[in-house]
Amino acid sequence: MNPRFETIHPVVFEIPENLHGLKGTDKVDFLGGAARQALAESAKRSGIVLGALEKKDNGAPIPCSGVYWSLSHKSEAVGGVVSPNRVGIDIETIRPVTEPLYGRVAGETEWRLSASDRLETFFRFWTAKEAVLKAVGIGFAGMGKCRIVDIPDDAHLTIVYEDRNWQVEHFRTSCCLISVTMSTNPVQWHIEPYPG
């Protein structure tokens, strides 16, 4: 294993405002391509050469030569990460949400763990759970099985999913909240303007 791969390098590209308005397949194609550029940059910073990126029938990424990978994209930002361990990354734009969504994302016991701003906490919980679900290769349907059990600080939390603890690290930009799963590997964030 490349010694530089001891650190996880999530790469996030902030998308210029003039590209936020893309619609339909133009939007999907652009954001998907930009997220793959971020993934390639994560691999480069990790000293890894990725081969062909393949997915299972359910859309879950298949490890490439023993390297796990994950992508996420929103109109405002895209991200990618590689890891020697199962990994997931999720990006969400901070925006108002309806009251019923709070109950769908977390239960009362989880909400009592945080005294922070409720909207910020909502997106911490949402992106952390999505990152874990991506790491295990299932979708949003598994959200109810993820439970936040500890919030040690503003940048980390612990989730239990099917009797396994997952550590998640957060990064906040001016518009988005990003979460990445981590194991024993330290995380070095790279937040950059979209290079395209």
pLDDT digits (tens, 9 = 90+) for 61-110: 999 988 999 999 999 999 999 999 999 999 999 999 999 999 999 999 99
Q: What is the pLDDT of residues 108-132, one digit of tens each?
A: 999 999 988 999 999 999 999 999 9
Q: Identify the three-state secondary structure at position 74.
A: coil
What residue ranges define each of the domains in the chain, with the CATH number in brackets?
7-193 (3.90.470.20)
Contact 142, 161 (CB under 8 A): yes
For residue 182, the one-letter residue type is M
Which amino acid, one-letter code, is at 142?
Answer: G
| Residue 2 pLDDT | 54
What pLDDT sits at residue 1?
45
Is-contact 43 50, C-beta < 8 A?
A: yes
- In angstroms, the CA 81 to CA 110 distance is 27
What global pTM score does this model have? 0.94
Residue range 152-169, pLDDT digits in tens: 999 999 999 999 999 999
What is the per-residue pLDDT across 32-57, written as a single tens digit (0 to 9) for each? 999 999 999 999 999 998 989 999 98
**Is the separation of the CB atoms in 162 and 172 below 8 Å?**
no
What does DSSP say about strands 146-153 and 54-55: parallel, antiparallel, or unpaired?
A: unpaired
